């Protein structure tokens, strides 16, 4: 078992909170894991990414080789496209559809759409809208995780257990809200992959 | 014991805590910051009274760490690569005095300059100071090397350097711990001359330092961190240092066909390198940073061999290595099932919405644009360096910590009419105070803006050494009270800021303007906790 995952977004969107849940579930399953993060200057509104590697065998590189990623999870559509080039031929892009526009030359809506259409295997969802429907915009990253959950190589039950362990301290209501968000994200993915 | 999931930086800190650390000294700097932060947030730092407060700069940190070692206890000092420049005087001479308590110097290099002004290679500093250097390939090795480095430092009586790079510092993996050790008790050297580097003593110490080099090399020959893995195909021999080893093996998941010497401890194991050279037709060196091993080989090998590395563009001369770059060098094709769409644009970092630096730049630009070519803005190292980028485009220099004030002074000496320095509060207390003293002593016609956000912002909001005392420091250095202004950088105060800036830029002496408003990131974190 091996999964090479790139998480991407804009500094401040909290891609590491998604990585934390996947990492927790992976480590709990005694899998090997390496996760490279971006700290420092780019965190101020620049593009950020994290390379997350999970395997049942020891992992050498902290970085994923181009063309070998199994999954790109992006909280922002243009940032998803930035790393789509790392995907293998059967890799999936799971991306939020809401643009984060903080640069003057951000692509026009139709140009962005055309570029996204060129990615064959993808799940696109408006995580912010779904999160609000679930009950809070604060769980948007967990909606995203739910949409990516079929591709992680870790069972859905392991991920829900991971959420219980991570959010358990914050009480039952928070745990349930996050589980609901996870399920809502997964539901979107399920309609596309089946 | 269960493995801990730790960043490379955190693994280093955990190892130091487990090895009986008594004090860690550092100034924040990417990618080294998280080492000290980990100690600061540990329970053990509180229960065992481990020193972990930030230092004013890397030099003061290095000296304090040496002082702790002088008193027999184990200390660590951490910095980013350019911080070693600041600490260099103390560091090079610490190798001359030697140590009593174990002293580990962590230098975190930043190839590809993710958050830095250059990609200098700290191994050269270690070699220059003539101390042993460790270079880990993964988080577990980083832990083990630090744990061992304290022992080695004490047994050899020398500081030991640990050299890491950004990728290891900021990547997480499982780490197993080793048994916890007690802190050393207070004790001193029995040689009264050891720490007094008067020429008469320094000459003696220098001979001792040179004599120790042979021992260091012998240790490298047998070190577990310098591992030889034989291969069937001896047409090439590969020397891979630190994390470069990972990128090699990533390309050979079923094992590398060529013999590989994995280097993790310096000075280089000369015998091992020569015996490899005897059995291989040519050598390839893969190392992160400058071609240190590559260049050393040309002097160390007994026979001339073709050496592929960064010098002959076998690998690129600049930038961080990646599995792709190493793979390409070995002839593996890059897989591009998808090309990155041309709609993808650069997204550089920018000042946060609501940041006080923004209001400062708004006001400064209004006055600066009036002056045209007669005005230049000298920047410094921090978030406000982003004032170089649009929409402000208000920066003509950014060189090193504290340089804004002294470069403005130099340009004013040369005849520049309106020289403005922009420096943050933490950078000012790091290295700007002596610069300001020079300007005051010369009555240089410069305007110094100390953009005070009461924190060390760029690295994530660490305590700033002079918070609450910036005006007092300036007055103490001799600034005239009528040319010292404290303002609140907010839109509603724009007019006042513009007026003060315009007046002070016309003043033919040193003025200091302090726009002060807390960093909104730090403020938000405080509210959360």
B5 phi and psi, to 5 degrees?
A: -90, 105
* Contact across the interface for A11 and B349, Cβ inside 8 Å: yes
Most B-contacting residue of A21, A44, A122, A162 (CB-CB within 10 A), to test interface: A44
In terms of domains, do B43 and B171 share one? yes
* Contact across the interface for B172 and A34, Cβ inside 8 Å: yes
* Contact across the interface for B386 and A44, Cβ inside 8 Å: yes
Classify B341 as helix, strand or coil. Answer: coil
Contacts of B390 in chain A (CB under 8 A): 104
Output the six-digit token pair for A12: 């401040």
Tell me the pLDDT of chain B (529 aa) as tens digits: 578 999 999 999 999 999 999 999 999 999 999 999 999 999 999 999 999 999 999 999 999 999 999 999 999 999 999 999 999 999 999 999 999 999 999 999 999 999 999 999 999 999 999 999 999 999 999 999 999 999 999 999 999 999 999 999 999 999 999 999 999 999 999 999 999 999 999 999 999 999 999 999 999 999 999 999 999 999 999 999 999 999 999 999 999 999 999 999 999 999 999 999 999 999 999 999 999 999 999 999 998 999 999 999 999 999 999 999 999 999 999 888 778 889 999 998 889 999 999 999 999 999 999 999 999 999 999 999 999 999 999 999 999 999 999 999 999 999 999 999 999 999 999 999 999 999 999 999 999 999 999 999 999 999 999 999 999 999 999 999 999 999 999 999 999 999 999 999 999 999 999 999 999 999 998 998 7
- Cβ-Cβ contacts under 8 Å for B473 (sequence gap 6 or more): B428, B429, B433, B466
- How many structural domains are present in chain B? 3
pTM of the model: 0.96
A-contacting residues in B 356-385 (Cβ below 8 Å): 383
Strands B260-263, B227-229: parallel, antiparallel or unpaired by DSSP?
antiparallel
Number of CB atoms found within 10 A of residue B440's CB: 20
Query: What burial letters (b/e) apply to B156-165, b meaning 16+ CB within 10 Å?
Result: bbbbbbbbbb
The parent domain of residue B165 ranges over: 4-222
* Contact across the interface for B3 and A38, Cβ inside 8 Å: no
Asked if the structure places residue B233 within a domain, the reply is yes
In terms of domains, do B205 and B108 share one? yes
In terms of domains, do B385 and B472 share one? yes
Looking up residue B112, the CATH number of its domain turns out to be 3.40.50.970
Last residue of some domain: B200, B222, B244?
B222
* Contact across the interface for A23 and B172, Cβ inside 8 Å: yes
Asked if the structure places residue B351 within a domain, the reply is no
Tell me which residue in B3, B170, B340 faces A81 most closely, judged by beta carbons: B340
Looking up residue A77, the CATH number of its domain turns out to be 3.40.920.10
In terms of domains, do B199 and B242 share one? no
Tell me which residue in B34, B171, B323 faces A65 most closely, judged by beta carbons: B323
Number of CB atoms found within 10 A of residue A25's CB: 25
In terms of domains, do B210 and B241 share one? no
Say whether the peptide bond before residue B462 is cis (omega within 30 degrees of 0). Answer: no
Nearest CA in chain B to A108: B343
In the 8-state DSSP scheme, what is residue A65? Answer: P
* Contact across the interface for A60 and B247, Cβ inside 8 Å: yes
Asked if the structure places residue B499 within a domain, the reply is yes
Closest by CA to B100, choosing from B73, B82, B120, is B73
Most B-contacting residue of A38, A65, A80, A112 (CB-CB within 10 A), to test interface: A65
In terms of domains, do B213 and B238 share one? no
**B108 part of contact set with chain A, CB < 8 Å:** no
Contacts of B340 in chain A (CB under 8 A): 81-82, 84-85
Instruction: Tell me how far apart the alpha carbons of residues B290 and B124 are, in angstroms, rounded to a whole number.
Output: 9
* Contact across the interface for A62 and B351, Cβ inside 8 Å: no
Contacts of B243 in chain A (CB under 8 A): 62
Last residue of some domain: B167, B192, B222?
B222
In terms of domains, do B22 and B155 share one? yes
Say whether the peptide bond before residue B42 is cis (omega within 30 degrees of 0). Answer: no
In terms of domains, do B521 and B393 share one? yes
Asked if the structure places residue B39 within a domain, the reply is yes
Nearest CA in chain A to B252: A60
The parent domain of residue A166 ranges over: 2-193
Tell me which residue in B171, B346, B459 faces A62 most closely, judged by beta carbons: B171
Residue with tokens 């940190």: B61
- How many structural domains are present in chain A? 1
Contacts of B348 in chain A (CB under 8 A): 46, 103
Q: How far is CA B297 from CA B161, B285, B304, in A?
A: 21, 9, 10
In terms of domains, do B104 and B156 share one? yes
Tens of pLDDT along B197-230? 999 999 999 999 999 999 999 999 999 999 999 9
**B1 part of contact set with chain A, CB < 8 Å:** no
Read off the pLDDT of each residue in A157-162 and give the average, rounded to a whole number.
95
**B339 part of contact set with chain A, CB < 8 Å:** yes
Contacts of A27 in chain B (CB under 8 A): 3, 5, 174
Query: Can you give the C-alpha Rg of chain A in angstroms?
Result: 16
Nearest CA in chain B to A44: B349
* Contact across the interface for B114 and A115, Cβ inside 8 Å: no
Tens of pLDDT along B370-400? 999 999 999 999 999 999 999 999 999 999 9
What is the four-CA torsion angle of B239, B244, B248, B253, rounded to 10 degrees? 130
In terms of domains, do B40 and B189 share one? yes
In terms of domains, do B282 and B313 share one? yes
Over pLDDT 90: what percentage of chain A?
87
* Contact across the interface for B33 and A39, Cβ inside 8 Å: yes
* Contact across the interface for B459 and A40, Cβ inside 8 Å: yes
Residues β-bridged to residue B377: B420
Output the six-digit token pair for A43: 């965190």
Closest by CA to B447, choosing from B471, B476, B423, is B423
In terms of domains, do B155 and B275 share one? no
Tell me which residue in A36, A43, A81 faces B343 most closely, judged by beta carbons: A81
Q: How far is CA B507 from CA A54, B445, B479, in A?
A: 62, 7, 13
Nearest CA in chain A to B456: A40
ipTM of the complex model: 0.93
Last residue of some domain: B222, B247, B267?
B222
């Amino acid at each position: 078992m091996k999964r090479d995952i790139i998480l991407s977004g804009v500094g401040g969107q909290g891609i590491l909170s998604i990585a934390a849940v996947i990492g927790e579930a992976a480590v709990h399953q005694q899998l090997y894991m390496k996760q490279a993060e971006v700290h420092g200057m780019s965190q101020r509104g620049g593009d950020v990414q994290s390379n997350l590697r999970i395997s049942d065998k020891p992992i050498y590189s902290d970085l994923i080789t181009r063309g070998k990623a199994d999954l790109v999870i992006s909280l922002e559509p243009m940032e998803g496209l930035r790393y789509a080039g790392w995907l293998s031929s059967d890799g999936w892009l799971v991306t939020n559809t809401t643009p984060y526009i903080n640069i003057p030359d951000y692509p026009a809506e139709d140009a962005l759409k055309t570029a996204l259409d060129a990615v064959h295997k993808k799940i696109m969802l408006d995580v912010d809208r779904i999160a609000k429907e679930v009950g809070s915009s604060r769980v948007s990253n967990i909606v995203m995780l739910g949409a990516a959950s079929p591709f992680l190589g870790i069972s859905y039950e392991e991920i829900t257990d991971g959420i219980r362990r991570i959010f358990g301290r914050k009480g039952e209501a928070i745990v349930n809200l996050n589980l609901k968000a996870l399920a809502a994200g997964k539901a979107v993915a399920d309609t596309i992959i089946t | 014991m269960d493995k801990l999931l730790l960043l490379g930086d955190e693994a280093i800190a955990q190892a130091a805590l487990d090895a009986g650390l008594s004090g860690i000294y550092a100034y924040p700097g990417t990618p080294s910051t998280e080492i000290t932060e980990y100690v600061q947030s540990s329970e053990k730092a509180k229960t065992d009274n481990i020193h972990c407060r930030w230092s004013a700069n890397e030099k003061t940190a290095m000296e304090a760490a040496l002082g702790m070692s002088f008193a027999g206890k184990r200390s660590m000092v951490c910095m980013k690569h350019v911080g070693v420049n600041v600490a260099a005087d103390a560091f090079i001479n610490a190798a001359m005095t030697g140590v009593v308590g174990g002293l580990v110097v962590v230098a975190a290099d930043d190839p590809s300059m993710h958050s830095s002004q250059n990609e200098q290679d700290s191994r050269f500093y270690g070699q220059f100071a003539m101390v042993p250097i460790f270079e880990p390939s993964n988080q577990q090795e980083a832990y083990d090397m630090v744990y061992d480095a304290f022992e080695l430092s004490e047994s050899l009586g020398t500081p030991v350097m640990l050299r890491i790079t950004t990728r290891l510092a900021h990547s997480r993996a499982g780490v197993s711990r080793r048994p916890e050790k007690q802190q050393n008790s207070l004790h001193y050297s029995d040689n009264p001359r050891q720490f007094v580097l008067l020429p008469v003593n320094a000459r003696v110490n220098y001979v001792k330092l040179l004599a120790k080099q042979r021992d260091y090399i012998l240790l490298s020959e047998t070190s577990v961190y310098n591992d030889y893995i034989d291969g069937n195909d001896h047409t090439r021999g590969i020397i891979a240092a630190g994390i470069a080893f990972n990128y090699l093996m990533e390309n050979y998941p079923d094992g590398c066909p060529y013999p590989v010497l994995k280097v993790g401890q310096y000075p280089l194991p000369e015998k091992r390198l020569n015996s490899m050279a005897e059995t291989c037709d040519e050598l390839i060196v893969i190392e992160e940073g400058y071609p240190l091993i590559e260049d050393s080989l040309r002097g160390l090998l007994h026979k001339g061999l073709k050496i592929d590395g960064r010098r002959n563009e076998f690998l690129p001369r600049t930038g961080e290595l990646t599995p792709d770059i190493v793979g390409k060098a070995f002839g593996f094709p890059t897989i591009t099932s998808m090309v990155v769409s041309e709609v993808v644009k650069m997204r550089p970092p920018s000042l946060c919405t609501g940041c006080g630096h923004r209001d400062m730049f708004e006001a400064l630009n209004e006055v600066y644009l009036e002056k045209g070519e007669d005005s230049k803005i000298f920047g410094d190292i921090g978030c406000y360096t982003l004032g170089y980028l649009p929409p402000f485009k208000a920066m003509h220099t950014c060189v090193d910590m504290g340089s804004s004030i002294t470069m403005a002074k130099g340009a004013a000496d040369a005849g520049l009419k309106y020289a403005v320095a922009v420096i943050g509060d933490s950078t000012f207390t790091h290295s700007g105070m002596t610069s300001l003293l020079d300007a005051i002593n010369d009555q240089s016609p410069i305007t110094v803006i100390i953009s005070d956000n009461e924190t060390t912002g760029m690295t994530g909001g660490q305590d700033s050494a002079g918070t609450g005392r910036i005006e007092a420091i300036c007055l103490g250095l001799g600034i005239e009270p009528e040319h010292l202004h404290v303002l609140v950088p907010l839109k509603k105060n724009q007019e006042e800021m513009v007026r003060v800036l315009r007046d002070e830029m016309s003043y033919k002496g040193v003025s200091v303007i302090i726009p002060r408003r807390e960093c909104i990131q730090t403020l938000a974190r405080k509210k959360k906790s």
